[in-house]
A and B are shown apart, each in its own frame.
Chain A
Amino acid sequence: MPSAALQTPTEHLTLGHALASHAERLSATTALVYGRPDGGQDRRSYAELYAQAAAIGAALHDLPARTHDRPFVLIALPDGVDYVASFFGSVLADTVAVTFHPPLMSTTRAGRAWDHRLEQILRDCEPSAVITTPELHTRVRAVAGAAALAPLVLAPEDVGWDAGAEAGPVRTRPHHLALLQYTSGSTSSPKGAMVSHANLAHNIAHIRRNLSTGPGQSAAGWLPLFHDMGLIGMVCHPLTAGMSLHMSTPTGFLRNPLGWLRTLSETRSTFTIAPDFGYATAVHKVPEERRAGLDLSGLRHALNGAEPVRRRTVTAFTEAYAPHGFHPHALMPVYGLAEATLVVTCLDRQAPPALHEADRRTLGGAAPRSGDFRAGTARTELVGCGSAIAPDTEVAVVDPRTSRRLPAGEIGEIWISGPGVAGGYWGREQASRETFGATVDEPGSPARRFLRTGDLGIWHEGQLRVAGRIKDVIIHRGTNHHPQDLEATAEGCHPQVARAVAFAVRDEDDQDEQVVLACELHAYGGSDHAGVLTALRTAVLEEHGIAPAAVAVVQTGAVPRTTSGKLRRAEAAQRWSAGEFRTVALWHRGATSKGGRR
């Protein structure tokens, strides 16, 4: 760890205060460069970013509040400088940003899924304003109208700004809400984690302290801004630190993965974040001859989070880019979640990857009843994600049945307590109590409240290792998908489908998660099974961006359920992997596309 006396970064009360301070001291320094879809770039200095944000903030701060004591402002913009300026505008005005996105694909079905999701969020928090692009205004008004709401709908270009203008006051207050982060959540119940300015300031200050980031450094990345890792880790953190940030978009990255590496190289960036598949893509989609001239020697920390870190990715990325200056210990696995603002554990230094092989079955022996280790091979590799990011943050591994703390080496649910933990889910008292109000059963323990993460973990050699999940969440390319959402899509995609179950199984080398959907039909005689299977695949792709590894029609009653009719997805996954699922009709990804999936 660097010397604390020299390296402790200047602490800012809030993001708003940090930006105002940088606008004064680093005024002409580049704050943000964003790649546009047309290949051009937008650029803002700190003074310009502050001026634009302040102008947007001025348009927001007199809005009437509705369901909260301050107004909610939903942002549904493409990733870019206007998104960042709008978020900081909300921060400066002390309104509460609700982060969202435009439709992800232009197909009709994807559009309907977006309308539905937007309507649910609008109903849940009743924003006073929606900031979106002009071409979406009519559509947003129509969706809001269906929810009997009429928010102010505005576009960033409607708000003029002048970098030389007199700056307004910073209205941001630490204990006010900054952000409702809707977890990429279940169709039936989108839940907005309530993140305060104090939460953000705490998490960002400790990321900075661990990584020693500050003015004079650059960062580069492409994560989406509606996701906490993109907005907080990849954007708010570098801008709070006074760094120069160079951003692309997820689409920009996928179309041209080399662009990310080139930007890291050209800007001598010290920091980036990507999920595991991002690093894998940078290896497999950038042929060796195109890596010539890259210099990654400035990259001190390449965070790897949001999905399980895979040994083969760490090895392959390091082998591919060590000849281009990449330090083998710079790839840093982190653990975090939106309910704890962002980062929960990470390393405070460069270190070799801490890999630890464990027996999945013995791990499972101590797991809760519903503990769901994906069926498959018995050996599994657990990657060390460091320790608690801050001394005042406690990360406990707890037996969820007894609420008792477990010793190192035993698997249990990861519980978190500390200033980074969000204030609960907006408007959901019961869910908030269940998730955010746990207490550890131990003699003489103060009534400290813990966040139950639903993730299973184990302490080994001083590092937290994430071992699976209690919940049935499916992680696909760094994004969490609730099986309920995929099942709802399946049940709505073809009139013959009665009930569906979605689950994930692991591939042979226990690495990638493969999504499987099985459905029961209303009637089997004369049904167009092939048509059902096609409809399932297309619908799940367009609404969720996932290509299932297999889809099946099964007999009524074949899907395992509890006596009360609840789906038993973990059991379904086990039966599937064991080949015990009898299918009426089956499609699975053929031999032509086997192997090499990221």
Chain B
Amino acid sequence: MTAEAPITQRAISAVVQASIASELGLPEEERVDRRTAFVDLGLDSAALIGLAGAVTEELGFEVPTEWLFDHPTVHSLSAFLADALAAPEPARG
């Protein structure tokens, strides 16, 4: 990452929620629950790959699909990504 201000967990959470809404074809203003597991939201493995790709694109930061299995809610994934982005050498996988 550059020396810009670190992106907050709240901002990441919004990105992830928007990407899920797009993945599920929900109206733009609709937000999924932050503590419901991805599988319970109806995301299958192909949708998770798509979600990882969309989040990568939005954050400009490589998000492997495996991370979504290790951190399977909006809340836990955003917290993990915020830590990873704040770290000087982002953990990769």
Determine which of A104, A251, A541 lies in contact with B39 in the assembled complex, contact meaning CB atoms within 8 Å: A541
Is B43 an interface position by the 8 A CB rule?
yes
Chain B residues whose C-beta falls within 8 Å of the C-beta of A562 in the assembled complex: none
Determine whether the beta carbon of A541 is less than 8 Å from that of B32.
Answer: no
B residues apposed to A, CB below 8 Å: 22, 24-26, 30, 32-33, 37, 39-47, 49-50, 52-54, 56-57, 65-66, 69
Determine whether the beta carbon of B43 is less than 8 Å from that of A547.
Answer: yes
Nearest Cβ on chain B to A534's Cβ, whole angstroms: 8
User: Do A549 and B42 contact each other (CB < 8 Å), given the known contacts A254-B49, A254-B53, A255-B53?
Assistant: yes
Determine whether the beta carbon of A105 is less than 8 Å from that of B69.
Answer: yes
Chain A residues whose C-beta falls within 8 Å of the C-beta of B26 in the assembled complex: 592-593, 595-596
CB-CB nearest 8 A-B residue pairs:
A596-B25, A255-B53, A545-B45, A547-B44, A593-B42, A254-B49, A589-B42, A593-B24
Determine whether the beta carbon of B69 is less than 8 Å from that of A106.
Answer: yes
Determine whether the beta carbon of A597 is less than 8 Å from that of B24.
Answer: yes
Is A477 an interface position by the 8 A CB rule?
yes
14 pairs, CB–CB < 8 Å, chain A vs chain B: A105-B69, A251-B49, A254-B46, A255-B49, A255-B50, A256-B57, A534-B37, A546-B45, A547-B42, A587-B40, A589-B41, A592-B26, A592-B32, A593-B32
Query: What is the bound-complex CA distance between A146 and B59, given in angstroms?
Result: 45
Query: What is the bound-complex CA distance between A537 and B39, given in angstroms?
Result: 7
Query: What is the bound-complex CA distance between A251 and B66, given in angstroms?
Result: 12
Chain A residues whose C-beta falls within 8 Å of the C-beta of B65 in the assembled complex: 105, 251
Determine whether the beta carbon of A546 is less than 8 Å from that of B44.
Answer: yes
Residues 512 to 567 of chain A near chain B (Cβ within 8 Å): 534, 537-538, 541-542, 545-547, 549
User: Do A255 and B30 contact each other (CB < 8 Å), given the known contacts A105-B45, A107-B69, A547-B43?
Assistant: no
Query: What is the bound-complex CA distance between A476 and B45, given in angstroms?
Result: 11
A596 to B, closest residue via Cβ: B25
Chain A residues whose C-beta falls within 8 Å of the C-beta of B24 in the assembled complex: 592-593, 596-597
Nearest Cβ on chain A to B22's Cβ, whole angstroms: 7
Chain B residues whose C-beta falls within 8 Å of the C-beta of A538 in the assembled complex: 37, 39
Query: What is the bound-complex CA distance between A541 and B72, given in angstroms?
Result: 12
Chain A residues whose C-beta falls within 8 Å of the C-beta of B33 in the assembled complex: 592
Determine whether the beta carbon of A477 is less than 8 Å from that of B41.
Answer: no
Residues 96 to 127 of chain A near chain B (Cβ within 8 Å): 104-107
B72 to A, closest residue via Cβ: A538
Determine whether the beta carbon of A254 is less than 8 Å from that of B50.
Answer: yes
Determine whether the beta carbon of A106 is less than 8 Å from that of B44.
Answer: no
Determine whether the beta carbon of B53 is less than 8 Å from that of A595.
Answer: no
Nearest Cβ on chain B to A364's Cβ, whole angstroms: 29
Chain A residues whose C-beta falls within 8 Å of the C-beta of B42 in the assembled complex: 547, 549, 589, 593, 597
Query: What is the bound-complex CA distance between A546 and B42, given in angstroms?
Result: 9
Nearest Cβ on chain B to A260's Cβ, whole angstroms: 12
- Per-position contact with B for A225-258: 1 when CB-CB < 8 Å, else 0? 0000000000000000000000000110011110
Query: What is the bound-complex CA distance between A534 and B72, given in angstroms?
Result: 13
Determine whether the beta carbon of A477 is less than 8 Å from that of B32.
Answer: no
* Residues of A in contact, count (CB < 8 Å): 33
Query: What is the bound-complex CA distance between A285 and B57, given in angstroms?
Result: 12
Determine whether the beta carbon of B46 is less than 8 Å from that of A106.
Answer: no
Chain A residues whose C-beta falls within 8 Å of the C-beta of B56 in the assembled complex: 255
Interface residues of chain B: helix, strand, loop or mixed (majority): helix
Nearest Cβ on chain A to B28's Cβ, whole angstroms: 12
Determine whether the beta carbon of B25 is less than 8 Å from that of A284.
Answer: yes
Given contacts A254-B53, A538-B37, list 18 more A-B pairs with CB under 8 A: A254-B46, A255-B53, A255-B56, A256-B57, A285-B22, A476-B44, A537-B39, A537-B40, A538-B39, A545-B44, A547-B39, A547-B47, A587-B40, A589-B41, A592-B30, A593-B42, A596-B25, A597-B24
A595 to B, closest residue via Cβ: B25
Chain A residues whose C-beta falls within 8 Å of the C-beta of B22 in the assembled complex: 284-285
Determine which of A105, A251, A254, A592 lies in contact with B41 in the assembled complex, contact meaning CB atoms within 8 Å: A592
Residues 77 to 96 of chain A near chain B (Cβ within 8 Å): none
Query: What is the bound-complex CA distance between A412 and B37, given in angstroms?
Result: 43
Chain B residues whose C-beta falls within 8 Å of the C-beta of A104 in the assembled complex: 45
Nearest Cβ on chain B to A179's Cβ, whole angstroms: 26
Determine which of B39, B53, B66 lies in contact with A106 in the assembled complex, contact meaning CB atoms within 8 Å: B66
Query: What is the bound-complex CA distance between A534 and B38, given in angstroms?
Result: 12
Residues 245 to 286 of chain A near chain B (Cβ within 8 Å): 250-251, 254-257, 277, 281, 284-285
Query: What is the bound-complex CA distance between A214 and B59, given in angstroms?
Result: 42
Query: What is the bound-complex CA distance between A105 and B46, given in angstroms?
Result: 11
Query: What is the bound-complex CA distance between A342 and B46, given in angstroms?
Result: 24
Nearest Cβ on chain B to A192's Cβ, whole angstroms: 25
Determine which of A107, A255, A546, A597 lies in contact with B25 in the assembled complex, contact meaning CB atoms within 8 Å: A597
Query: What is the bound-complex CA distance between A13 and B50, given in angstroms?
Result: 41
Chain B residues whose C-beta falls within 8 Å of the C-beta of A595 in the assembled complex: 25-26
Query: What is the bound-complex CA distance between A256 and B65, given in angstroms?
Result: 13
Determine whether the beta carbon of B53 is less than 8 Å from that of A256.
Answer: yes
Nearest Cβ on chain B to A222's Cβ, whole angstroms: 12
Nearest Cβ on chain A to B64's Cβ, whole angstroms: 9
Determine whether the beta carbon of B44 is less than 8 Å from that of A541.
Answer: yes
Determine which of B25, B30, B45 lies in contact with A541 in the assembled complex, contact meaning CB atoms within 8 Å: B45
Query: What is the bound-complex CA distance between A281 and B44, given in angstroms?
Result: 14
Residues 115 to 144 of chain A near chain B (Cβ within 8 Å): none
Query: What is the bound-complex CA distance between A477 and B32, given in angstroms?
Result: 24
Chain B residues whose C-beta falls within 8 Å of the C-beta of A284 in the assembled complex: 22, 25
A597 to B, closest residue via Cβ: B25
Residues 559 to 598 of chain A near chain B (Cβ within 8 Å): 587, 589, 592-593, 595-598
- Per-position contact with B for A167-205: 1 when CB-CB < 8 Å, else 0? 000000000000000000000000000000000000000
Chain B residues whose C-beta falls within 8 Å of the C-beta of A477 in the assembled complex: 44, 46
Determine whether the beta carbon of A545 is less than 8 Å from that of B46.
Answer: yes
Nearest Cβ on chain A to B67's Cβ, whole angstroms: 10
Residues 315 to 359 of chain A near chain B (Cβ within 8 Å): none
Chain B residues whose C-beta falls within 8 Å of the C-beta of A545 in the assembled complex: 44-46
Nearest Cβ on chain B to A248's Cβ, whole angstroms: 12
Chain A residues whose C-beta falls within 8 Å of the C-beta of B49 in the assembled complex: 250-251, 254-255
Query: What is the bound-complex CA distance between A595 and B45, given in angstroms?
Result: 18
Query: What is the bound-complex CA distance between A151 and B57, given in angstroms?
Result: 43
Chain A residues whose C-beta falls within 8 Å of the C-beta of B25 in the assembled complex: 284, 595-598
Query: What is the bound-complex CA distance between A72 and B65, given in angstroms?
Result: 33
Chain B residues whose C-beta falls within 8 Å of the C-beta of A534 in the assembled complex: 37, 40
